Structure 1
Amino acid sequence: MRASFRLGRVAGVPVGVNWSVLVIFLLIAWALSAVQFPRAYPGRSLVEYWAAGLAAAVVFFLGLLAHEVSHSVVARRNGIGVEGITLWLFGGVSQLKGEARDPGAELRIAGVGPLVSLLIGAFFGAIAVALSLAGVHGLLLGSLAWLAGINVLLAIFNILPAAPLDGGRLLRAAVWKATGDRTKASVVAARAGRILGVVLIGLGLWQFIAGAGVGGLWLALIGWFLIGAAGVEEQQARMGSALRGVRVADVMTPQPQTASGAMTVADFVDNYLFAYRHTALPLTDGDGHPVGLVTLDRVRGIPADRRAATTLGEVACRADELVLARPDEDLTELLPRLSECADGRALVVTDQRLVGIVSPSDISRAVQRGSLRDQLTPGGH
């Protein structure tokens, strides 16, 4: 999930927000301000309802951020790098640079998020109880009670034993510890996620038919998302098993042909296109440092009458979007980063100079060979 814009850093971790957050933020604020608070506390002004609803929605998303930051902090303490955190429609995601090295690390990283949400819920709940005992009632108490309940609910939902929820990670840690097989543990957690997704879709549709309206459809949408995400996790687990022990240098195309960003698209099409065997062309400066990446799809998008006036540098994947890798890096560590640039390639560098390129077809061939290796090796998965 890519961030639409950056908020800054929290605990040293870059934090971004996807545009879809606006959808759920407005939905929560509207439900509180226009439905729940007026029904529970009649007689207040529209401004008071919306002020309380917006404030509660903002604090809720700050709680989601704290949940994800806790994952990132514990991941770094367990030797795993963190690319950043992105808040989106279904909550948040911490983009880790690798996998937990053992079941204990997996348990700590996964378990801290629900624990933080539970503590936040308990904090707001304690304040609400104290205010209630002191005779304070109204929108303030209602907002605090809602924040307490929603964070406790978030913690409970997240510990359900199904990937990609935190509970799925906990299940994976348990199965991994019991069997010693990370891949089997990941597949078990992913299949549990599919089962939970089907249950949520069925429950949501039943609620919708029974008159729950948008709430039922939202539950079904969450179930649909879980099924898709669980399927991706199972695929990644099997891919990771097939690629274990494979380095970037084992699959890359060494010393690829390069071009200058100053070359025009017309010059490339007229003089280089048919001589070049690949669909992606790295751009380098005079010292061999990668500065961009051009694909045939990007070139194809330039109208013929503009090609002579457009340089490859203008249509390339920019330098700050490039995915760079080392030859000795494990291929499984590179895979999560390949989605960072829309072109899906990685440039391999040594001392900041280009020495190779990894494409989706290179990954596909490596997976096929790795799967064959596992089938032919006694005890392979």
Structure 2
Amino acid sequence: MRESIRLGHFAGIRVGLNVSVLVIVLILVVGLSFGRFPQAYPDYATWAYIVAGVASAILLLASLLAHELAHAVVAQRNGIDVEGITLWLLGGVARLRDEPRTAGADLRIAVVGPVTSLVVGAIFAVAAMLAAAVSAPDLLFGTFAYLAGINAILAVFNLIPAAPLDGGRVLRAFLWWRGGDRTEAAVTAARAGRLFGYFLIALGFIQFVAGLGFGGLWLVLIGFFVVSAASAEEQQAHVNAALHGVRVGDVMTPDPMVVNATATVQDLIDDVVLTHRHSTYPLIENGRLAGLVTLNRVRATPPEQRSTLRLTDIACPPEEVPSARPDDPLPELLPRMAGCTDGRAVVVDEDDHVIGLITASDIARALQMADLRGTHPYPPPHGADMTTRHRHRTWPS
């Protein structure tokens, strides 16, 4: 899930919003300000209901952020890098760069989210009781009570043992600890998630057809998301198992053509694109990675601007380019191969010089070759160490 609006850093972790979160904020504000609150707490001015609705929506987003931050912080404490957090239409996503290495770490990272939601819900419940004790306006009490209830519901819902919910992670950790096979545990949790998603779709459809309101459509939407995410997790589990023991250097395309970042788009087209069969161009400046340009980005540039725009103007910035060392495990790189690089990653040496590329074709070939490894899922290292700097072609010189 890509971020559209960057909020900054919390606890050292980058946080952003996807534009879809504005939809849920609008729905919450309208539903609370003109529906729930006026019905439960009449005789207030319209502006009071709107203020309560906006405050509830903002505090709910803060609650979701606390949930995801808890996941991210515990992941970091267990040695896992966190790329960032994105809040979106159906909640939040903490993007972890690696997978937990033990069942215990998997359990700790999973369970801390629902626990945090319960704690946040308890805080709002205490605030509601204090508001009642001091005879504060009942609309203020209702706002705190709503937030307490919704956080409790989120905690309970997330503990359902079905991936990609936190409960599915707890189930995976338990099965991993019990059976010792992480792949089998992940597949079981993902299949449980898919069944749960189908249940939500069926339940939502029945509610809608029975005329019980449009809430059924939300269940259908959530169900489709759960089914899609669970299927993706099962596929990812199989891919990780097939590529276990494979290093980045084993599958990369070495000696890529790198391009000086100061060149213009038209220069790249004339001297490289039309004369070489490449579709990915790492940019370098002072010998280091300065971004990445793909053929799709070049084609998307307006023709009248190509002679003046520099490659850095259209490139994926270096901090968003997935990079790895040759000895890094390939499965740990795969989750990061998304975003603005169109599924590409750059391989660098110990001095951060570009020595290779990994594309979707390289991954596909690695998966095809996995079948030839027989039943040995952990082949010994082969080939050169691949940590020395490779010669690469640079344009222009």
Q: Same fold (TM over 0.5)?
A: yes
What's the offset of the Cα at 1:306? 5.1
The equivalent residue for 2:204 is 204
Shift of the 182–56 alpha-carbon distance from structure 1 to 2, 3 Å rule, reads same
Alpha carbons 2:115, 2:155 under 8 Å: kept: yes
Alpha carbons 1:257, 1:281 under 8 Å: kept: yes
Alpha carbons 2:131, 2:140 under 8 Å: kept: no
Alpha carbons 2:265, 2:298 under 8 Å: kept: yes
What's the offset of the Cα at 1:58? 1.3
Alpha carbons 2:293, 2:311 under 8 Å: kept: yes
% identical aligned pairs:
53
Shift of the 269–102 alpha-carbon distance from structure 1 to 2, 3 Å rule, reads same
The equivalent residue for 1:249 is 249
Matched residue of 2:9: which SS?
Answer: strand
The equivalent residue for 1:236 is 236
The equivalent residue for 1:322 is 321
Question: Aligned letter for 2:329?
Answer: D
More displaced 10-residue stretch of structure 1: 40-49 or 136-145: 136-145
What's the offset of the Cα at 1:51? 1.2
The equivalent residue for 2:216 is 216
Structure 2 length-normalised TM: 0.89
Whether 2:3 is the aligned partner of 1:3: answer: yes
Matched residue of 2:92: which SS?
Answer: strand
Whole-angstrom CA distance in 2 between matches of 1:256 and 1:266:
20
Whether 2:375 is the aligned partner of 1:377: answer: yes
TM-align CA RMSD = 2.1
Whole-angstrom CA distance in 1 between matches of 2:50 and 2:336:
41
Structure 1 length-normalised TM: 0.93
Matched residue of 2:258: which SS?
Answer: coil
Question: Aligned letter for 2:103?
Answer: P
What's the offset of the Cα at 1:372? 4.1
Q: Would you say how many aligned residue pairs link Structure 1 and Structure 2?
A: 377
Question: Aligned letter for 1:359?
Answer: T
Shift of the 150–185 alpha-carbon distance from structure 1 to 2, 3 Å rule, reads same
Matched residue of 1:341: which SS?
Answer: helix
Whole-angstrom CA distance in 2 between matches of 1:27 and 1:270:
50
Alpha carbons 1:87, 1:93 under 8 Å: kept: yes
Extract unaligned runs of 5+ from structure 2: 379-397
Extract unaligned runs of 5+ from structure 1: none
Alpha carbons 2:321, 2:341 under 8 Å: kept: no
Question: Aligned letter for 1:321?
Answer: E
User: 1:255-266, aligned counterparts within 5 Å?
Assistant: 255-266=255-266
Whole-angstrom CA distance in 1 between matches of 2:24 and 2:255:
47
Whole-angstrom CA distance in 1 between matches of 2:128 and 2:117:
17
Whole-angstrom CA distance in 1 between matches of 2:303 and 2:127:
66
Whole-angstrom CA distance in 1 between matches of 2:59 and 2:78:
29
The equivalent residue for 2:166 is 166
The equivalent residue for 2:352 is 352
For residues 222-257 of structure 1, what are the alpha-carbon distances to aligned partners after superposition, in whole Å with 9 as ceiling and x for unaligned? 001111111111111111111111111111111112
User: 1:1-381, aligned counterparts within 5 Å?
Assistant: 1-132=1-132, 136=136, 138-273=138-273, 275-285=275-285, 287-302=286-301, 307-350=306-349, 351-373=351-373, 376-377=374-375
What's the offset of the Cα at 1:297? 2.1
